[in-house]
Amino acid sequence: MPKAAKPGVRLDLPQRPRRLRRTAAIRALVRETSLSPAQLIQPVFVIEGGSGAAPEPVASLPGVSRVPVGRLGAHCRELAKLGLGGIALFPKVDPKRKDALGREALNANSLVLRAVREAKSAAPQLPIFADLALDPYTTHGHDGILTKRGDDVDNDRTVAILTEMAVLHARAGVDFVAPSDMMDGRVGAIRRALDTAGHETTGILAYTAKYASAYYGPFRDAVGSKRAAGQAPISKATYQMDPANRREALREALLDEAEGADILLVKPALLYLDIIADLRAHSPLPIAAYQVSGEYAQICAAAERGWLDLPAARDESLLAIRRAGADMILTYFASACARDGQ
Ligand code: PBG
């Protein structure tokens, strides 16, 4: 028989936060943040190929494969069944179709536009987000076209191309265009172009605070926007934000709101939770966060070595992003997370 504690050992504590952690049911009652498939958007890489073509695994993104466009319909029906909040489409374009001006971006029958039509007809209720930027189409891998001197991305000429791209995507059936290029003034220009073309119901998810991050590496492998082996990776520092800056994200948010953005996005996510919380506090608009390829890859890599428990680390990372204030998350974990929750 254990002896009863001596009276003097009991603390005189009216406040005992542990009372609310005593059982699973009580913890569920007081949980402040939830995670559900409807809040998750799955990025999907598409390649050319019919329904018989094999998906191509991406080595630096374990569990992620590029999907042949002929298989995309079936793939989207699966994702819709999981109750996901949508897909974000990214094409891997044949290098032969790339040039310095990214002309393929304006081909009305380009891979991504065929993918949009395929996805929309197969799973009409699944929201489609389409990235707007020129990096899948340019030989140099930048998100826009270069200035005459070739030493920077030309803002206004790039915006002109993005507005045309936006209209093509809207016509193909996307629910949201997602400019990820970080050019100044592009949200307003895209809004006007969409409205003029009669696409006033197509939304804009603006990459509001997209940082010049080292964590996009595996994505650039997936879409082939990295420079050839041996060459230094390109720097996007003249358009993507400096990771040192916090207030500047608010400035970008104010501009995107004023220009007509429907959703504001922060990217990457886990290293930028302060930015997500800032935008949540300052904007009435829905906030999205992009858990990028490098964030995904580092969790997978540690789990492969047995150093982290994958589902637990994954769910904790997504919950943290939601807790910081994101309404929705673009994440390569989306479908696995939804499947595990079933
Ligand atoms: C390109 C784009 C990038 C990502 C999404 N859109 C890469 C880049 O800016 O170089 C990165 C996504 C990821 O790393 O998962 N406009």
Position 127 scores a pLDDT of 98
C-alpha 131 – ligand 1 centre gap (Å):
9
The span from the CA of 338 to the CA of 86, in Å, is 12
**Closest ligand 1 atom, CA of 210?**
9
Q: Mean pLDDT across the chain, nearest whole number?
A: 95
The secondary structure of the chain in percent helix, strand, coil, rounded to multiples of 5, reads: 45, 15, 40
Rounded mean pLDDT, 232-256: 94
Cα 216 to averaged position of ligand 1 atoms, centre (Å): 6
For residues 213-222, average pLDDT? 91
Whether residue 295 has its Cβ less than 6 Å from ligand 1: no
Tell me what pLDDT residue 227 has: 62
What's the pLDDT at 2? Answer: 64
Buried-state track 226-264, b at ≥16 Cβ within 10 A, e below 16:
beeeeeeeeebeebbbeeeeeeebbebbebbbebbbbbb
Active site residues: 210, 267
For range 234-256, the mean pLDDT: 96
Confidence class for position 164, pLDDT limits 50, 70, 90: very high
Distance (Å) from CA 81 to ligand 1 centroid: 27
- Using the predicted structure, report yes or no on whether residue 316 has a pLDDT greater than 80: yes
pLDDT (mean) for 206-225 = 92
Ligand 1 closest atom vs CA 296: 15
Cβ neighbours for 138, distance < 8 A, ≥ 6 positions apart: 98, 99, 100, 101, 102, 144, 145
Q: Each residue of 83-99: pLDDT tens digit? A: 999 999 999 999 999 99
pLDDT level of residue 228 (50, 70, 90 thresholds): low
User: Tell me, what's the pLDDT at 137?
Assistant: 96
pLDDT of residue 285: 98
Cis geometry, peptide bond prior to residue 268 (ω within 30 degrees of 0): yes
Atom nearest to 330 CA in ligand 1: 15
| pLDDT the model gives residue 222 | 85
Is there an atom of ligand 1 within 6 Å of 42 CB? no
Residue 316: how many other CB atoms lie within 10 Å: 14
pLDDT band at 230 (very low <50, low <70, confident <90, very high): low
The domain spans of the chain are 35-340
- For residue 216 and ligand 1, the question of a CB distance below 6 A is answered with yes
The DSSP H or E segment spanning 204 is: strand 203-210
Question: Rounded to an integer, what distance in angstroms lies between the CA atom of residue 149 and that of residue 91?
Answer: 29
- Rounded CA separation 14/6 (Å): 19
Position 136 confidence tier, pLDDT thresholds 50, 70, 90: very high
Best mutation site among 42, 180, 181, 213 for ligand 1, i.e. most ligand atoms within 8 A of its Cβ? Answer: 180
338 within ligand 1 shell (Cβ under 6 A): no
Mutate which of 216, 271, 331 for ligand 1? The one with the most ligand atoms within 8 Å of its CB, which is: 216
Query: Is the dihedral angle over the CA atoms 67, 69, 71, 73 positive or is it negative?
Result: positive
The answer, yes or no, to whether any atom of ligand 1 lies below 6 A from the CB of 292, is: yes
CA proximity to 213, closest of 292, 326, 138, 95: 292
The superfamily CATH assigns to domain 35-340 is Aldolase class I (3.20.20.70)
The Å distance, Cα 224 to ligand 1 centre, comes to 11
pLDDT value at residue 109: 97
Residue 231: pLDDT band with limits 50, 70, 90: low
38 φ/ψ angles, rounded to the nearest 5 degrees? -65, -15
Instruction: Take residue 113 and report the two structure tokens written for it.
Output: 């536009």
